Structures are given as C-alpha cells and as structure tokens.
Amino acid sequence: MVTPATDSRDFLGVFAAASGGRPVSFARFMELALYHPTAGYYRRPRCRTGLTPAADFHTSVTLGPLFGELVVAAATKLAGRADLRDWTFAEIGAEPGSSALDGVVHPFGRVVTIRVGEPLRLAGPCVVFSNELFDAQPFHRLHWRAGAWRETGVALSDDRPVETELAEWSPAVRAVQSRLPAAAPADGYRLDLPLAAEALCTQIAAEPWTGLFLTFDYGKSWSELAEAQPAGTARAYRAHRQETDLLAHPGEQDLTCHICWDWLETALGVHGFAAVARESQEAFFLRHAAAAVERIVRRPSAGPDPVKSRLQQLLHPALQGQRFQVLHAVRG
C-alpha cells in the first residue's frame, strides 16, 4: 500500500530522487508536483475544488447540476440527433467521486469518468467532455535573453526548488523549434509552451471513436502567447488565491497556464474532426443551449433564486462567460 505524502517536505525528497541532483525542465517539475503517485497535488486525497475555504479553486462543475444540464442540452444539439441511447458520455479528468452529470437527467446510454492515472480508452459514438483539463497539463517555460530563446528549468538549492537556466533545450522543446518566433518583443519575454496539452488532445483524437469533442478551458492563440504575454501565462492557485511563486508549496498548490487553442484545433483537424469551432462560454450556451437558459430565466421566483445566480456566474462576461472558452468538433 502506498502512503500519500503529506506536505512539501515529502515532495522535496521525491524531486531530489527523480532529478538526481540535476536541473530539470519546468514541465518535469510540474509533472512531479501535480501527478506523482504519492506527492502530486492531483494524486493526494484532499479537497481541491469547491466554494469552501478548504478548497483551492472552484470550477463550473462545482456550481452544481446547472452546468451539467446546460452541457447536456448543448451536446444534444451539436450531436444532431435526438436518440443518444447508444452514445457514451465520457468525462476526462473528473475529480474523484464527482462528475459533471451528477444529478442531471440525460439521454446517454452510458456515462464514464476517466480520472487522473486511468487509461484512456474511447470507442464507438461518444461525447468526449472535459472541463479545465488541458490547462493542468505540464508545460515548458522559455525566456528571451541575449538574442536567443533559453529554457527555464528547476533545480534544488538549500533544499528548496529554484528557477535556473538549462544548459540546453529539453527534447520536447527542441522538437518544436521551428514554431518558435525568430525573436521576442523584448528582453526577458516569457513564453510558456503547453506541449503536453497538445499531446493529450492528439491522444484523445487518435482513439477509435466518433461523435462530439467538447472541452471548456482558458487559452489564447499562438500569436497572443508569442507576442502579447510578456510575463507568460503560468500561475499557481492555493486557498482561492493566485500565487506568484510557482515553486512554493510543491504538491500543495495547483499549477496552470493558458493552452494554445491553435494547436488543439490543428490536432483535431489532423485526426478527421470537422466543424471545429471555438466560442466563449457565454456565446456557447446562449447559442447551443438557448431553450434551457430561457427556461431558467423565465421561471418565477419569489425571492433570490440560487439557480439564476449560478446561471449568471456561468454566463456573465465579467465572471465565467468570457474567461472560459469552449472548443467543439465532430467526427463521423
């Protein structure tokens, strides 16, 4: 039986053993900090998502069944058919013990949740759904110095992880060298490369399934990442606060960056997906789940309505409506 690690001190032992005392890429550090079987943030038995002080952040799923109801309404419309009894709703990256469809009436014949560490097997007609999955994948970090892109890594110093400049690029970065801008807008420019998110999307698309791909996340175009984000997009979350130190509290805080929508869209197109589209969460639900939204808005209420309040959270441009985007595509 594996005993889970309890705090950052346990992680430091894991990191020292995994790195062999040498600097590693930020992606490798993040892989250990988030997904190590005992010391990883997403592998520990702890509260991560929710509205309580014990959680670190909240997602659309934590707002209750309303989000799932709107997802079902939109997915049914995009699937283009009323009878979905032979379809599977596959949710990738769901938190332990939860699903976006908890408490939701739906038309699907089968619902499966694929959690962290579980094999990815998709076949037959499906709605393959995820919420804030891709932004949590390990990413590489580059910075522009003295006329060249240099990779930022992590090393141990005085028993704490510190940022360092790697002597050479890691293989994953070298493989995408041709994509990198010839120059950065300014010295010190940060470029966070969400390569694992692209790889995961490719893996999902390569599985032998047909139907609807549907993911909710936050990201930017490649031109925005390469030209308009001088500090990069990497961030950490702990106790509902955005942390500035990505290396503090390893294994105890979430690490994330904006994904590159262009890369995911290309991966889907290469694997035979059509009607690839990206919309803000606000536009997506108002366009594809309009009837469900209207029913909620029009229902009578004698006082404050918590469901209407949650709907506002999902749709309002200043809340989640514009912060999150939805990428969807169909195959077969």
Q: How confident is the model at residue 1 (pLDDT cuts 50, 70, 90)?
A: very low
Residues with Cβ within 8 Å of 6's Cβ and at least 6 positions away in sequence, in order, are none
Average of per-residue pLDDT values in the chain: 92
| Confidence at 6, pLDDT banded by 50, 70, 90 | very low
For residue 59, pLDDT beyond 70:
no
Asked if residue 240 has pLDDT above 90, the reply is no
| pLDDT on residue 288 | 98
| pLDDT over threshold 90, residue 258 | yes
Residue 329's DSSP bridge partners are 213
pLDDT at 96: 79
Select the more confidently predicted residue: 199 or 63: 199
Provide the pLDDT for residue 304. 85
Residues 6+ apart with CB under 8 A from 203: 120
Condensed to tens digits (0 to 9), the pLDDT of residues 309-325 reads 999 999 999 999 999 99
Q: Which two tokens stand for residue 30?
A: 């993040």
What are 7-55's pLDDT values in tens digits?
567 889 999 999 998 999 999 999 999 999 988 888 876 665 655 665 6
Using DSSP's 3-state secondary structure scheme, residue 101 falls into coil
The percent helix, strand, coil of the chain (3-state, each to 5) is: 35, 25, 40
d(CA 278, CA 200): 18
pLDDT value at residue 300: 86
Q: How far apart are CA 157 and CA 172, in angstroms?
A: 25
> Distance between CA atoms of 135 and 147, rounded to whole angstroms?
29
pLDDT score for 53: 66
Tokens for 55, please give them.
Answer: 């959680």
Residue closest to 95 by CA, chosen among 36, 46, 30, 31: 46
Which region among 60-74, 97-111, 211-225 has the lowest average model confidence (pLDDT)? 60-74
Q: What is the pLDDT of residues 208-235, one digit of tens each?
A: 999 999 999 999 999 999 999 999 999 9
Does residue 58 surpass a pLDDT of 60? no
pLDDT at 4: 41
Query: What are 165's two structure tokens?
Result: 């400049």
Decide if pLDDT at 331 tops 60: yes
Residue 56's pLDDT is 52
pLDDT for residue 100 is more than 70:
yes
* Mean predicted confidence (pLDDT) in 57-71: 80
- The predicted model scores a pTM of 0.92
- Which band of pLDDT confidence, cut at 50, 70 and 90, is reported for residue 244? confident
CB 78 within 8 A of CB 128: no
User: What are the structural domains of the chain?
Assistant: 47-139+194-218+258-331 (3.40.50.12710)
